[in-house]
A and B are shown apart, each in its own frame.
Chain A
Amino acid sequence: MTETPAVARPAETAKKFNIDTVEHAAKTPDTELPWAELGLKQNEFDEVVRVLGRRPTGAELAMYSVMWSEHCSYKSSKNHLRQFGEKVTEEMKKDMLVGIGENAGVTNLGDGWAVTFKIESHNSPSFVEPYQGAATGIGGIVRDIISMGARPVAVMDPLRFGEIDHPDTARVMHGAVAGIGGYGNSLGLPNIGGEMVFDSVYQGNPLVNALAVGVMRHEDIRLANASGKGNKVVLFGARTGGDGIGGASVLASESFDSTKPSKRPAVQVGDPFAEKVLIECCLELFKGSLVEGIQDLGAAGISCATSELASNGDGGMQVELTSVLLRDPTLTPGEILMSESQERMMAVVTPENIAAFEAVMDKWAVEYSWLGEVTDTGRLIITWDGEVIVDVDPRTVAHDGPVYDRPYARPEWQDAVQADAFTGSVQDAGRPAAPAELAAAVTELVASPNMCSKSWITDQYDRYVGGNTAMAFPDDAGVVRVDEETGLGVALATDANGRYTYLDPYHGAQLALAEAYRNVATAGAVPMAVSDCLNFGSPEDPDVMWQLAEAIRGLSDACMELGIPVTGGNVSLYNQTGSTPIHPSPVVAVLGKLDDVARRTPSGWREDGQAIYLLGTTAAELDGSEWSKLRGHLGGLPPTVDLAAERELGEILINASRDGMVDSAHDLSEGGLAAALVESALRYGVGARISLQDVLDRDGVDLFTALFSESQARAIVAVPRSEEIRFKDMCTARGFAHVRIGVVDAESGVLEINGVETLSLDALREAHEGTLPKYFG
């Protein structure tokens, strides 16, 4: 259906540029280049010159500058990230089909199925232009999943914005949520969960992370490499435009044309329809085994795709850049190489498959152009109208970028922060104790910005499309069926707590993992793999670098202890306003497996008379808690991490789900038991009668602490009477603390907690669900 010209640009247009060829560069070593404006440091530029043995051409400079950026090269974090690959046992590797380094890791699900998932950041674009930033964040992560050969099946989005009542928060909120919905809903991918956190530290630097998960048969796994001399390289999808070129203006030196458009958006603009068509089109290519290697175009666009495909392959690649189909014919070679226009893919196709490939493109009305071919020279050569403008070893661009051992040190202020406990602080004055005070405190907590219902957001996302969503927000984890015959499926949860991590980065990162692990197990799934999005401030600040190093060390240690490997992820640095960094925010996603999603455990109570058990023990752990945030305090030490207990709790929850011993389960995390009780009650509007006396006696805590402490490795479960003995026996046999704290009451319409004034579910619902509409309409 498309009429695609072989060469997009008439020759005379091409001549408008004064092309800086390799030959010219060799002859003009002293030409001034705008490397500093493109973000390279002096030592990095010197390294480029050393690698090439001459000064780079303008086009080469563009490639190196984007590929050696922090975002693409992980130059500050690489030395630390290695731990994710090193702290891995053979047992952990057993189900890992593709590990870190590819577009996304792949995990074996059994029965010939594989699952791939990854989480990424799109923070700065989402602050500049929330709608497009968030939308293209979804688009990018979904293309990573397609690149592995998988059909994307769900998305999730952890969000962190500034204070709820700050005027700019509404701008970011409306834009980002509409963008995620507008793009994700149009792709036909259910949005099954995420997070929403408000904190002033994110005011000038919101965090918009996006996760996508996809599934495939083992034989469909695809990798990003260009192999086989003579195979053709093709670019397909949307045309290349001027969007997403960060340093476009400085490349003006490459062009003599002063009439070209000067204002270009640094934020990419998304076209979800193009992406949806691209998904179906790629799946059809995979089905017909029509591509040898495939790579999505994300950050650094064609620079990234060509250099990664070539360096992962066994030869080289030759590409003619004037063959790229353009939206804006005035783009210079450097700009074309750097453009981050969305909805594009690059593939390697054998000559025999060209016709079949073109037929699929035509069927889906997707534009494409053949750029060149795979060679055996070991070089990536890019020409412009036949003149060589790039001649590099692709590894030096894609993989051998600079790596820094940034200096780091425990911040001087860390001790003072850790010494400032909430208990006994000024903010702790007048701690609620009387029944009426405690009832007011519970209501205040569940109405607070971070603990309130997020349905205002999730109602704007399609959670049903695909017909495989077995569980979604507000349950602990999202659950998607993979195999309709057997019920095999996956559960996913993402978590982070910037406040805990600020207090103690090592343990804070572990707490994020522990919570995501717990959420997945609470749903009844066996945790299998981890993806992380490490959102931090500037690595050039030794305080921040220490936070990053500690978080990675903590996370990798904890993964080892829990026996689940990191299969991929993303690092987002420089998240700060001026010299003030955000709280260190490692967002951790855990993927689990359910043999039959029909066995999933939901979070809400339903059946009258079922016994409610609290699993785990409670200590006085209020530092960094949601309660302390409500009182304006941040100090002390986060809750104690006990990964052995998390593992034990996880096994109890998984076995209970598998053997039908529990009808509901909800993990205890932010907001503690108070939040969990209210959420379990409001899920289906079913109340309960609760007495915590046994908890108070056993753990030596008062009622306030029992309700608001955020001690880890805890969950509440509802057990049918017929299963009670079996369930208790299992907990006893495993030596895990469990105590019956009450009973589900389907008729009362209230949440009754001994020592707390009775809470009507209607009033709780009004408080819980009223907050976001109040601020955002």
Chain B
Amino acid sequence: MTELPLIGEAVAVAAHPQLAGAKIGVVTFPGTLDDRDAARAVRLAGATPVALWHADTTLGDVDAVIIPGGFSYGDYLRAGAISRFAPLMAKVIDAANSEAKLPVLGICNGFQILTESHLLPGSMIKNDHLKFLCRDQVLRVENNTTDWTGDYAVGQEITVPLKNQDGQYIADEKTLDALEAEGRVVFRYVGWNPNGSRRDIAGISNAAGNVVGLMPHPEHAVEAGFGPQAGSGTEGLGFFTSVLNKIVGDNK
């Protein structure tokens, strides 16, 4: 375990005494970029972020895990393809599939790592327009029964940043049909599809709803003035409060 080198400490007040005790792990791989942002989001939601190192062989006592965005191992082979073999990922995969169903959120590169780990189906390829794209993206919440979306309403539209090069979600038709049928499409892009993803899919979950992956970045929309210009700027915070409510609910 390692300390995240923050610049200054984010200020946050625990929303609920029970929540402050919740520990959410944030995994850092070589080349991870948004780990400090994810830790800040956890803190702003009222929980305690725990830094996890890719080479760690234990998850400790975390109540949930976030695999943040970035270019782990430079994305040199294929996004997420090398990180998937990190010692810690074996623990994450086991915990996610265990009876306890550890909540796991993969954001951007984290989503790519989750598909490479087969915790989620499908894969990401280069954006159809072939360029890196950074923009404020409107998403529609399609499923609020996952561990990470309980605080949203179905049909709710939220604005969070999108920034990636390899964001085009693809899967075979059978898989896509199954995802749709089982309600596992969690987020869809609203309006222009920014990367050519199949069926405008921005994020999906596993069957149990404890593992969610998406390309856009909710952790960049948790503090007004430091995120999207449109909307409140804090519309990504719901991911982190959702999982806290889930954790507290389980512990009741």
Contacts and interface: CB of A to CB of B under 8 A. Distances in A.
A363 B55 CA distance: 9
Most buried by A among B131, B134, B165, B217: B134
- Give the residue among A274, A463, A467, A483 with the most B Cβ atoms within 10 A: A467
A274 B73 CA distance: 9
Which residue among A287, A365, A464, A466 has the maximum number of chain B CB atoms within 10 Å of its CB?
A: A464
A599 to B, nearest CB: 10
A697 B135 CA distance: 44
A459 interface: yes
Interface in A463-487: 463-470, 481-486
B134 A277 contact: no
A314 interface: no
A684 B134 contact: no
A216 B223 CA distance: 23
Contacts of A287: 5
A466 B39 CA distance: 11
A483 B134 contact: no
B71 interface: yes
Given A276-B31, A462-B163, A484-B9, A186 B74 contact: yes
Interface in B122-149: 131-135
Interface residues of A, number: 45
A462 B6 CA distance: 19
Interface stretch (B17-25, B95-103, B112-120, B224-232): B224-232
Contacts of A459: 133-135
Contact of B7 (A153, A276, A465): A153
Contacts of A283: 5
Contacts of A684: 229
A364 interface: yes
A182 B74 CA distance: 10
Contacts of B70: 188
Given A151-B5, A484-B9, A464 B30 contact: no
Contacts of B11: 484-485
A178 B129 CA distance: 13
B74 A273 contact: yes
Contacts of A273: 30-31, 71, 73-74, 76
Given A151-B5, A484-B9, A484-B10, A467 B40 contact: yes
Nearest to B221: A464
B219 interface: yes
Interface in A429-465: 458-465
Contacts of B34: 188, 465
Contact of A151 (B7, B75, B223, B227): B7
A277 B7 contact: no
Nearest to A486: B8
A13 to B, nearest CB: 29
A329 to B, nearest CB: 23
Given A460-B133, A482-B7, A485-B8, A271 B74 contact: yes
Contact of B134 (A280, A463, A470): A463
B5 A467 contact: no
Contacts of B10: 484
Contacts of A662: none
B7 A484 contact: yes
Contacts of B30: 273, 276-277, 364-365
Interface in B217-247: 217, 219-220, 222-223, 225-227, 229
Interface in A563-614: 597-598
B48 to A, nearest CB: 16
A35 B125 CA distance: 51
Interface residues of B, number: 38
A475 to B, nearest CB: 10
Interface of B is mostly: loop
A246 B203 CA distance: 48
B37 interface: yes
B36 interface: yes
B33 interface: yes
Interface in A238-284: 271-274, 276-277, 280, 283-284
Given A153-B7, A273-B73, A467 B31 contact: no
A470 B74 contact: no
A69 interface: no
A215 interface: yes
B74 A465 contact: no
Nearest to A185: B132
* Most A C-beta atoms less than 10 A away, residue of B7, B8, B36, B226: B7
Contacts of A365: 30
Contacts of A125: none
Given A459-B134, A465-B37, A186 B71 contact: yes
A488 to B, nearest CB: 8
A460 B220 CA distance: 17
In this complex, which of A277, A465, A470 has the most chain B Cβ atoms within 10 angstroms of its Cβ?
Answer: A465
A181 interface: yes
A665 B5 CA distance: 35
Contact of B31 (A277, A363, A462, A468): A277
Interface string B141-171: 0000000000000000000010101000000
Interface string A183-202: 00111100000000000000
B134 A272 contact: no
A181 B132 contact: yes
A236 B82 CA distance: 23
Given A185-B132, A188-B34, A271-B74, A464 B163 contact: yes
B186 to A, nearest CB: 21
Nearest to A684: B229
B7 A483 contact: yes
A186 B31 contact: yes
A460 B229 CA distance: 17
Most buried by A among B9, B30, B37, B55: B30
B132 A182 contact: yes
Interface in A278-298: 280, 283-284, 287
B37 A460 contact: no
A185 B8 CA distance: 22
A464 B229 contact: no
Interface string B188-232: 000000000000000000000000000001011011011101000
A769 to B, nearest CB: 13
Contacts of A178: 131-132
A188 B6 CA distance: 13
A486 B7 CA distance: 12
Contact of B9 (A466, A485, A597): A485
B226 A481 contact: yes
B1 to A, nearest CB: 12
B175 to A, nearest CB: 30
Given A271-B74, A287-B5, A465 B223 contact: no
Given A185-B132, A276-B31, A459-B135, A464 B217 contact: yes
Contacts of B226: 467-470, 481
Contacts of A597: 225
A227 B133 CA distance: 46
Interface string A666-683: 000000000000000000
Nearest to A1: B55
B224 to A, nearest CB: 9
A271 B40 CA distance: 28
B5 A188 contact: no
Interface string B78-101: 000000000000000000000000
Contacts of A470: 225-226
B37 A484 contact: no
Given A178-B132, A274-B74, A460-B132, 12 more contacts: A185-B71, A272-B71, A277-B31, A364-B30, A461-B134, A462-B132, A462-B134, A465-B220, A468-B226, A470-B225, A484-B7, A484-B40
6 contacts: A178-B131, A186-B71, A186-B75, A188-B70, A458-B134, A460-B133
Closest 10 CB pairs of A and B: A273-B74, A188-B33, A484-B8, A483-B8, A467-B37, A464-B220, A186-B71, A464-B161, A484-B10, A462-B163
